Amino acid sequence: MTVSTTSAAFYITPVVLKTLFQHFQAKGRKISHNDSRAVATDDVFFDEAFHIVKAFIELGTLNTIESLQAFTNTHVIAPYWAAVSPVLIPLFSCNKAADVLIDWFGPDDLKCVVGGEKWWQVRGLDGLEAEWVTEKEFLGPVPADLDKKLSSEDTNILRMENLDTVMLYVHGGGYFWGSINTHRYQMIRYARKMKGRVFAVNYRKAPQYPWPCPVHDVLTAYFYLTNPPPGALHKPVPPSKIVIAGDSAGGGLCVAALTVLRDMGIQQPAGAVLISPWVDLTHSFPSVMGNTATDIIPPHGFIHKPSAIWPIHPIPPDGEPRAIPTKTNPPPLPGHADTLRPSKERLADQVEKRTEQSGEEQRPVAAGDLKDDNVQDQKTMQKEDYNEKDNTLKHSGPSYGTHQTTIRDDDPNYDEALSFWEPKPPKVLMNNPHATPLELRSQIQIYAANEQLTHPLVSPVLQGSLGNLCPLYIIAGDAEVLRDEVMYLAHKAAHPQDYPARKGVLSSGVRQRENAGKFQTPTKVHLQVFDGMCHVLTVFTFTDSAKYAYRSIAQFVKHVTTHSAEHLDTNPFPEFHVPPEDISASEESLERMEPKRGQQSSKFAHFFKRSRGTAPAPIDSQVEKTDVALYKENERAAKEEHEIGATETMLEDREADPGSSRSSSKDKDIPGVRMLRERVDIFGQVRPMEPESEIEALHIPPRLIGVIREDPVKRWLSGQEEWDKKFHRKAVQAVRRRGHYHKKFDALMERARAQGLELFHDADSPAGHRQERSPMAPVYSRTSMGEIMAERRYGPCDIADEQPPESAIVGRRDNRESLALMKKCIYFTAPTTHRTVPKRTAADAFRAAVDTEDYVLKSPKQSVAEQQSESNILPIHGLRMWQGILTYYMRKSTVKATKRRHSMPNLNSRQPSNGRHGTSDTGMNSAIHT
């Protein structure tokens, strides 16, 4: 079984029926017990949608990663009222972003932490997929001097130039699935609400393209907007007109990109919208364990049926469990992974130990095979001073870069020893201090290696400082597993001095130490936590919470892109702008359905689409303005919060004029607010958040943030071991397939060499070992089908001296996607390091005729982690059906709201609620009769 429209329908339909039955059972019990508390799942549409999403993600874990990626990265046609223009960002912009990242990392981290500077620049496509999105009604006139050769999609890009505001959207999906197709319906909604355009990037994804590939692609998209390459149809977009936004993994990538821009002195966008950002990949915050039952994230995390791509080891090596009691004493300390930048002493010690043990056991010994005679318990490990081997171990050492000194060394044997270095397995911080810590024998996150999880660009919550960033609007669900890290991130950004990074992170590199002292200006933050809502609440567009969130996001975007930097420095919050920005009721309309297609008619067609000429059903105009009314009401509430001192103001403003920051003047903005902290109930109404002293997550010591803990590890381990048993035969088949592809890969290279493949760095090349082809040099092509690219580009043949992560397809030979990537770089669009493009023979054509994975006349299909798939089997793809379900729920919930408003005219009056549990007494009598 694979993830497909059919399999999803079969798997999810029983869930829909079961949820419906249980929903009305639960409501019956509430009526019988006279329970007047309202919770988010009292809404039958939210209850159904929540369980549909949860079931779909669960279905994904029962299948391979490639299957889930292919389904969620399938091109889906946009609705007729949307203007969607796909583009391929060229290598010009990719290389600009790469140069910035190379400078950010520096030579030492590039070599030791990242694994090189070339492998993450390798891509199968000749650029980066992206899309311009807006509503057709917002398009300007067709330019008078239009080149008639342009397609309608390209013409629309020119017609979007009248829209100044641009949202750069980075979709979520755990860093390894999802695409612009899964999130397009949300992006269309943002474009409509803010009356602007959205630029969405389809970044490369793990495990095929692990960190830092996604960060590279997000920066590429930003530079494409601000500095268009030659041939781009759009004009340069000033950073002051850009807001970067993302959900989940996309939110984490946004924070990482912002810190790179800040650190490199590059102008940041006007603002950022972070929706449930995933910023701690070590899962060190309490809500990861406490909110599992109320969230859509699988309880065991993202584990999948084994394949040739993932996991790295389909069958645990040597038959050992994926986590075992540690065999060695520190380093690393419990809760941490070993360093990727070893000191000279650590290198010498490991070389000596591995060489000695290899001689005793008569076999090669890896770092994971090392053993100590007397392994201590955790408490003893934490007490001992291991400063003799590494001078930072006495401080809660980081998961990477534990050595304070530079990696450069005058020892001529250092580089050779460094290639021999292997980090020891990470140790887990146990609940029982007298227990022997576990050590991990498998990679626990798909996005990055265990040793990279606490790098500040992987887990941005561990940045040395989050000050000096552009204004942030951050939202999270109170019932989601990432709630605590989102709240911590927001407060750390607004209070850089109060939430310092742990000492180990600061000692890991010069940049983070400098950042901690350099960037101390508080970032302006608006934090909202929504009662009863799960991860990425904007998925559920029909709920009151989401309706308010979309409107509030749109107002934030419009505010920060239409006012000067000086104005935003004093007031980045639209809620405090005076006079309040007028929101016309004409901006609001019901969710429109897709056009009816003649070849797709059925008695259920109305569920997914409507005829082009069909007008929306007449609904009370008061209801059409629901999110506008909510926003205006919450805008007034925010001003009331400020009047009673529930907002945080800048210290200098209070000292200058104690009364000015809370002025009741009705003709000027409220200036100097540093942070606006709010909770939002299930009806979309805001109230002040409780004091920081009452929020558990804000009292975690810095030394315990970014630590690998026992409870999350054991939960992941139990799920992974269950999957290992459940899919043992599939794992054996995956290992066998890897061997099959390895043979095909070797045969490919042998044929390519025989057909004339020559590289500039070949040992016998007259061009020399390191030379690359100049863009002006002639192309030594032996076929008219392929070409050597003029722009700087690398391929799998160029990384012999690098160490990409084990999952990266650029460094592998054991899967279809690695094979396709190599064929693309040899025969079709070769990097500048290639002297020739080999000529394929008649035998190749015959071989391709019997091999569905081979091509002669066209480039092979690239990894589903990079290239969109086409849906050719069913006329309606599952993603389109999901959009139809949301549209249906939106219309039904609107009708329900109409009836509720008619029966309860005082529904909009503000009422207290027990929001931390997603409950409220307001409106319960009508809700239980839904």
First CA to last CA distance, the chain: 37
Residue 312 has pLDDT above 80, yes or no: yes
Q: What is the pLDDT of residue 170?
A: 98
Tell me which residue has tokens 């989050």.
466
What is the DSSP secondary-structure string of 868-886? -EE--S-SS-HHHHHHHHH
413 or 380: which leads in pLDDT: 380
Q: What is the pLDDT of residue 773?
A: 42
What residues form DSSP beta bridges with 688?
678
Q: How far is CA 761 from the centre of its chain?
A: 36
* Nearest-5° Cα angle at 487, 483 to 491: 170
Least confident of 153-157, 258-262, 688-692, 849-853: 849-853
pLDDT band at 906 (very low <50, low <70, confident <90, very high): very low
Tens-digit pLDDT profile for residues 403-458:
333 434 455 566 666 777 889 999 999 999 999 999 999 999 999 999 999 999 99
- Structure tokens that stand for 804 in this block: 């990409």
Residue 589 has pLDDT above 90, yes or no: no
Phi and psi (nearest 5°) for 919? Answer: -120, 155
875 or 206: which leads in pLDDT: 206
- Look at residues 137, 128, 141 and name the one whose alpha carbon lies nearest to residue 86: 128
Q: What is the pLDDT of residue 417?
A: 67
User: Phi-psi category of 677—alpha, beta or left, where left has phi over 0 and alpha has psi -120 to 50?
Assistant: beta
Topology (CATH level 3) of domain 80-297+456-570:
Rossmann fold (3.40.50)
Average pLDDT over residues 43-63: 94
pTM of the model as a whole: 0.89
Q: What is the pLDDT of residue 405?
A: 39
Q: What is the pLDDT of residue 625?
A: 44
pLDDT band at 6 (very low <50, low <70, confident <90, very high): confident
87 vs 128, 156, 158, 201, 885, CA distance in Å?
A: 8, 12, 13, 10, 29
Average pLDDT over residues 814-825: 96
Tens-digit pLDDT profile for residues 405-420:
343 445 556 666 677 7
As a whole number of angstroms, the distance between CA 799 and CA 810 comes to 8
Of 240, 248, 459, 863, catalytic? 248
As a whole number of angstroms, the distance between CA 209 and CA 447 comes to 8
As a whole number of angstroms, the distance between CA 243 and CA 239 comes to 8
Tell me which residue has tokens 């690239």.
862
- Look at residues 397, 409, 410, 515 and name the one whose alpha carbon lies nearest to residue 457: 515
Q: How far is CA 858 from the centre of its chain?
A: 32
Q: What is the pLDDT of residue 464?
A: 93
Q: What is the CA radius of gyration of the chain?
A: 28
- Look at residues 710, 618, 218, 219 and name the one whose alpha carbon lies nearest to residue 431: 710
What residues form DSSP beta bridges with 474?
274, 527
pLDDT band at 471 (very low <50, low <70, confident <90, very high): very high
Contact call for residues 797 and 833 (beta carbons, < 8 A) = yes
Please indicate whether residue 151 is annotated as part of the active site. Answer: no
- Structure tokens that stand for 173 in this block: 């999906």
- The ranges assigned to domains in the chain are 80-297+456-570, 323-440, 729-870
Tell me the pairing of strands 82-89 and 128-135.
antiparallel
Least confident of 179-183, 402-406, 728-732, 803-807: 402-406
Which sign, positive or negative, has the C-alpha torsion 571, 577, 578, 581? positive
- Look at residues 478, 529, 531, 543 and name the one whose alpha carbon lies nearest to residue 37: 531
Residue 97 has pLDDT above 50, yes or no: yes
3-state SS, 173-189, equals CCCCCCCHHHHHHHHHH
Least confident of 214-218, 649-653, 671-675, 733-737: 649-653
Q: What is the pLDDT of residue 789?
A: 77
Contact call for residues 167 and 199 (beta carbons, < 8 A) = yes
Q: What is the pLDDT of residue 644?
A: 79
Q: Tell me the pLDDT of the chain averaged across its residues.
A: 84
pLDDT band at 548 (very low <50, low <70, confident <90, very high): very high
3-state SS, 810-823, equals HHCCCCHHHHHHHH
Residue 590 has pLDDT above 70, yes or no: no
Residue 768 has pLDDT above 70, yes or no: no
Least confident of 211-220, 454-463, 556-565, 868-877: 868-877
Q: What is the pLDDT of residue 410?
A: 53
pLDDT band at 870 (very low <50, low <70, confident <90, very high): confident
As a whole number of angstroms, the distance between CA 110 and CA 113 comes to 6
Residue 909 has pLDDT above 50, yes or no: no
As a whole number of angstroms, the distance between CA 509 and CA 392 comes to 12
Phi and psi (nearest 5°) for 704? Answer: -105, 5
Residue 21 has pLDDT above 70, yes or no: yes
Which sign, positive or negative, has the C-alpha torsion 812, 814, 818, 824? positive
Least confident of 314-328, 757-771, 857-871: 757-771
Least confident of 113-122, 577-586, 639-648: 577-586
- Structure tokens that stand for 580 in this block: 């309040």
Residue 134 has pLDDT above 60, yes or no: yes
170 vs 57, 196, 201, 447, 869, CA distance in Å?
A: 20, 16, 6, 16, 19
Identify the burial level of 103 via C-beta atoms within 10 angstroms of its C-beta, where 0-12 means exposed, 13-18 middle and 19 or more buried. exposed
Tens-digit pLDDT profile for residues 485-542:
999 999 999 999 999 988 877 777 788 888 888 999 999 999 999 999 999 999 999 9
